[in-house]
Amino acid sequence: MPVSIRSRLLLLALLPVLTLATILFFSFTQQTRNLVDQQMGSVGEDVTELKRVELQRLMDMSYSSIAHIYENGGSLEEAIPILKNLKYGDSGYVFGYTETGDRVVLGQSDKGLGENFWDLQDKKGNYLVREIVQSAKSGDGYFIYWFPKPGETESAPKASYSIHLDRWNLVIGTGFYFDDVDAVLAEIEKEGESALESAQFVFVSIALFAVIGAAIIGLIISRTISSPIAKISSSVADLSKGDADLTARISVNDRFEIGALAGHFNRFLELLEDLIRDVKTNAELTRENAESIATHSKTMGLLVHDQDAETEQVATAVTEMTSAANEISSNASSAAMAASDADKQAMTSKQTVSDGAAEMNALANDIASAAYEVEELGAGVGNINSVVEVIKGVAEQTNLLALNAAIEAARAGDHGRGFAVVADEVRGLAQKTQKSTEEIADMISQLDTKAKAAVESIRKSNERSGKALSKNTEVVDAIDRIVSAIGEITQMNEQIAAASEEQSSVCEDITERLVTISDKSKETSEKGRETSVSADTLLDNANGLSSMVSRFRIS
């Protein structure tokens, strides 16, 4: 929730007083409580010391009641009835334990008499009988422990004083509960609280008067400050409404900060009036410039749109040209590969024809050699025929000689019978020889005929092989010309492929540049639209600014 300056000034006047009063109040209260606590502590110590002295005095009185028995050699049994009947106040009595912890007397109560309480502990864990015995034997005799009051079961803090009777091996003592001390301290605390409440009432009364006085002073001061500020606030409120009169000025009769603030505010109004006047002029110029920018932006948008359309058409044409160049390059590469394959096939064919020509040449040589051999065979056959004629003549002569020998043997009679047998056998052999010779002659005649036919056939084959060899030479020359032509075609295809690839690369580069130009054109178009929108916005803002500044009245 907003707080006015008057309220803040009033709060500024009251807050230190309230803060100081609160601090002093709590400080005074704490100091008073500390003083009461110190007093209670001092009184507690004094009362405790008095009780201790009183215990010693009571113990002296108790001992004096049995001193005549103890000092005159009497027995413990004589002293016990006296000790049991000793009583001090409402709860004071005498107790007695042996040095080993056996209970001998506990006031007028017979509880636990004769039992050992050496290990008896109070609720704090103190071995109270042991401590009482040790304290008495040491001569100090004073010990604080927790022990129930007579007829009660709840332990309460108790202070005891004991003495040691060495001849009876006995420790007797008495004590008091701290209830009396607590009652004294409670009374002191009650009185201290009452005094503190009285002092607090006085302090609060004084603080209340101080707060009222501070409030009155704060109201007076706040009025002297808030009134001029209210005038300034009213003028600022008029400015905030938007229909302010910048020619108006604030009049405050003050020589200090508020007057200085009013003077500064008046100078601010003067500067603001000049500023609004300049803003109004600039707003009109801005509006005119915004209209011009909007018109140029729309014109630029149309031009960029036309350029984008032309760029897309050029890009399409370049893309088609790139596709055609790629196809030409691909076909040229394929043709180059086909020409290369044809060149390889032609070289293979040339090698095959060359090998065939070599084989045919070798065959011609072999045929020539065979013709020579056949001619030699014909000559040999002629020679064999001559030999056969000789053998035939010899056989005829042998036959004649055998016939003559047979005739002569017949003439000789018995003497020539053996010779006749030989002559018959010779004639039989001659006839067989003649017959074989005739058969050989027939065979040689046939062989001679076939040899002549073979010679003629070989001669014709030799002629044909010569012609074939000549044709092979012509084929090799033709294949060489084909290989040369294929090489030229391959080189031309490679040049075409390289040119097509270069053309394709150039087309791709052109395409990329056209795409970049198209993108830039689109981006320019988009920027143009944004510029147009910004120009429209600027125009609206300029109109709004003109409308706003027209609400201020200036001279």
In tens digits, the chain (555 residues) has pLDDT values of: 566 666 766 677 677 777 887 887 777 677 777 776 776 666 667 667 777 888 889 888 989 999 999 999 899 999 999 999 888 777 788 999 999 999 999 988 888 899 999 999 988 899 989 999 999 999 889 998 888 876 777 888 888 899 999 999 999 999 887 776 666 666 767 776 777 777 778 878 887 888 788 778 877 776 777 666 777 777 767 666 666 666 766 666 666 666 676 777 777 777 877 777 777 788 778 778 777 777 876 777 677 677 667 767 766 766 776 776 677 667 667 766 766 776 677 678 667 757 766 776 776 677 677 667 767 766 766 676 676 677 777 767 877 876 787 787 777 777 667 667 776 777 787 677 778 777 777 777 777 777 677 667 767 766 776 776 677 677 667 667 766 766 776 777 677 667 667 767 766 777 777 678 777 767 777 776 777 777 778 778 777 777 766 766 677
177 phi/psi in degrees, rounded to 5: -85, 155
Give the pair of three-digit tokens for residue 375: 């001619």
H-run or E-run covering 288: helix 257-412
Separation in Å, CA 187 to CA 22, 33, 45, 192? 29, 15, 15, 9
Separation in Å, CA 444 to CA 264, 313, 382? 161, 99, 8
Indicate the angle between helix axes 257-412 and 179-241, nearest 10 degrees: 90
Expressed in percent and rounded to 5, the helix, strand and coil fractions of the chain are 80, 10, 10
Nearest to 283 by CA among 554, 548, 552: 548
Give the pair of three-digit tokens for residue 12: 């500024």
The domain ranges of the chain are: 5-211, 293-545
DSSP notation for 133-145? HHHHHHT--EEEE
CATH superfamily of 5-211: PAS domain (3.30.450.20)
Give CB contacts under 8 A, 24+ apart, made by 516-519.
Answer: 517/311, 518/308, 518/311, 518/312, 518/315
Separation in Å, CA 255 to CA 228, 230, 252, 438? 12, 17, 9, 181
CB of 141 closer than 8 Å to CB of 159: no
Nearest to 230 by CA among 8, 12, 7, 4: 4
Does domain 293-545 fall into CATH 1.10.287.950? Answer: yes
DSSP 8-state assignment for residue 19 = H
Distance CA 212, CA 219 (A): 11
Distance CA 133, CA 171 (A): 6
Torsion of CA 452, 455, 461, 465, to 10 degrees: -160
- How much is the pLDDT for 118? 94
Which pTM was predicted?
0.32
Query: Other CB atoms closer than 10 Å to residue 469's CB: what's the count?
Result: 18
CB of 290 closer than 8 Å to CB of 542: yes
Which distant-in-sequence residues (6+ apart) come within 8 Å of 545 by Cβ? 279, 283, 286
Residue with token string 């147009």: 532
Distance CA 343, CA 550 (A): 94
Give CB contacts under 8 A, 24+ apart, made by 233-237.
Answer: 235/265, 236/265
Distance CA 494, CA 16 (A): 105
Separation in Å, CA 286 to CA 4, 280, 295, 393, 537? 42, 10, 14, 153, 12
